[in-house]
Structure 1
Amino acid sequence: MSSSIIYALVANDNNPTPLAEVSLAEGNFQLMALKILQKIKPNSSISYSYEDKYIFHYHNDSGFTYLCMTDAAFSNRAAYNFLFDLREKFQAKFGEEAQKAIGFSASKQFEDIMKQRMEFFNTDPNADKLKIVRQTLDKTRDVMIENIDKVLARGDKIELLVSKTAYMSDQAVTLRKTSTRVKRHMWWKNFKLSLIIIAILLVVIGFIVLLACGGFTFPNCS
């Protein structure tokens, strides 16, 4: 399965509920993201690794946190490029009004943009080569990758569940149902065609027999 950005959110430091979030898979990773939001350090960038399978990256700037979860194989530079890109898009969209936003208030206006940017960074091979200001590049060099256990309280264990195939499975079920209907339709069509052919053959054979036997009274075959 290819590496990608799986989940992303934007949150205000004054409210633990995300202003907007987008998920490209199903799972309980939102629980882990909320745990991280509670441990955010102002104006910092940190990455947390979960069992070498997934990484949570966040960048906090001017009272807002931009966070994403990726596969471990996904480029760290591309992940932070995405977060900085998200920050620029969010600030351009809301400006000073963002300071007044509360939980999920930006979802309708911003989640489509978030999803578009996630898909771009997931599919464009040059996503980790975008030109970013020098200050941003310097920040990414200083980012530490820590174990996710650092944000969990002692004895507080969250088993991260991620299912990228959920939507694909739904599509597969629909495809199977459609395929079954098509097969059933074709079977009936072929069955009816076979009946017609058999009927025609019987008529032809009957006609030949009538000709050979001299008519319906079969005088030549008596």
Structure 2
Amino acid sequence: MTITYSCIANGRVILAELALTRGSYQDAVSSVLKLVLLKAEKKTTARIGSYVYHTLLLDGITYLCTTDNPLDVTVPSAFLDEVSRTFSENPLMFQEPFPPSNSTVADFQQVLGRCMMKYNQSQGEFMISGLKSQVMDVKNSMSQNIDKMLKREEKLNILIDRTNNLQVATKAFQKTTTKTSKKIWWRNYKIIIILSSIFIIIIIILLSTNVIPV
């Protein structure tokens, strides 16, 4: 991936720009700056032709760069962050009436050039850094998922233990109820036997004493 063009704009007015390759960027950049103003979002990415335009909008100033790789967003993002910091720390351009003087433009063209060369030469390091970041994100995501699974498993085990305890309690209750029912039945049976025996004895006595005629 190569950063082929970069610029700084106030609204749709380009304050400073630099292109490392031949080609006409003006029409595409004008369309992208218009899109940035319409969307008013901090970061915007647009693909026009064979190039991808990345922008960073801070305090009304648009920082823009063009790359030839639509898949890489790490390097352009880092480039725009550094350029924006450089310009915010050196507000010479913003102290002068717009448009800025030729000397100011030349100074910031040099800044753009240094940053473009730096990030074009160091893109391998940024790719490795980006891959490491992605690996760490995946690792963190997996760790979070494992923690969630362990928590769900723990809750499931608690639920299973409670279910087992409930089943044991239910069986114990059923056994207790069965024993109680048998005891009550046996007690009632004894009472019936005793009352029947007493009734028979009373009948026999009454018959033997002729209280009840035979």
Instruction: Return the TM-score normalized by structure 1.
Output: 0.51
Conserved? CA contact 2:18–2:113, under 8 Å: yes
Give the direction of change, closer, same or farther, for the CA distance of 1:88–1:73 in structure 2 (3 Å limit). Answer: same
Q: RMSD of aligned C-alpha atoms? A: 2.2
Give the direction of change, closer, same or farther, for the CA distance of 1:100–1:12 in structure 2 (3 Å limit). Answer: farther
* 1:71 maps to which of 51, 68, 73: 68
* Structure 2 partner of 1:195: none
Q: Which runs of 5+ in 2 are unaligned?
A: 131-214
Superposition pairs of residues 32-181 of structure 1, within 5 angstroms: 32-40=28-36, 41-51=39-49, 53-72=50-69, 75-94=72-91, 98=94, 100-105=96-101, 106-124=104-122, 125-127=124-126, 129=129
* Structure 1 partner of 2:26: 30
Larger radius of gyration: 2
CA distance in 2, matches of 1:37, 1:122: 23
* Structure 1 partner of 2:138: none
Give the direction of change, closer, same or farther, for the CA distance of 1:50–1:109 in structure 2 (3 Å limit). Answer: same
Deviation at 1:19, TM superposition (A): 0.8
Deviation at 1:127, TM superposition (A): 3.5
CA distance in 2, matches of 1:39, 1:100: 26
Structure 1 stretches of 4+ with a deviation exceeding 4 A read none
CA distance in 2, matches of 1:99, 1:19: 13
Which is bigger in relative contact order (C-alpha 8 A, separation at least 6)?
A: 1
Give the direction of change, closer, same or farther, for the CA distance of 1:29–1:98 in structure 2 (3 Å limit). Answer: same
CA distance in 1, matches of 2:27, 2:67: 15
CA distance in 2, matches of 1:17, 1:103: 8
Conserved? CA contact 1:43–1:62, under 8 Å: no
CA distance in 1, matches of 2:60, 2:19: 23
CA distance in 1, matches of 2:67, 2:40: 22
Q: Which runs of 5+ in 1 are unaligned?
A: 131-222
* Structure 1 partner of 2:173: none
Give the direction of change, closer, same or farther, for the CA distance of 1:68–1:101 in structure 2 (3 Å limit). Answer: farther
CA distance in 1, matches of 2:120, 2:69: 13
Give the direction of change, closer, same or farther, for the CA distance of 1:100–1:38 in structure 2 (3 Å limit). Answer: farther
Give 3-state SS (helix, strand or coil) of 2:13's partner. coil
Deviation at 1:83, TM superposition (A): 0.5
The one-letter code matched in structure 1 to 2:86 is K
CA distance in 1, matches of 2:107, 2:51: 28
Query: Is 2:13 aligned against 1:17?
Result: yes
The one-letter code matched in structure 2 to 1:120 is K
Identity value in percent: 23
Conserved? CA contact 2:28–2:48, under 8 Å: no
Conserved? CA contact 1:6–1:23, under 8 Å: yes
CA distance in 2, matches of 1:111, 1:81: 18
The one-letter code matched in structure 1 to 2:79 is F
Query: Is 2:38 aligned against 1:8?
Result: no
Instruction: Return the TM-score normalized by structure 2.
Output: 0.52
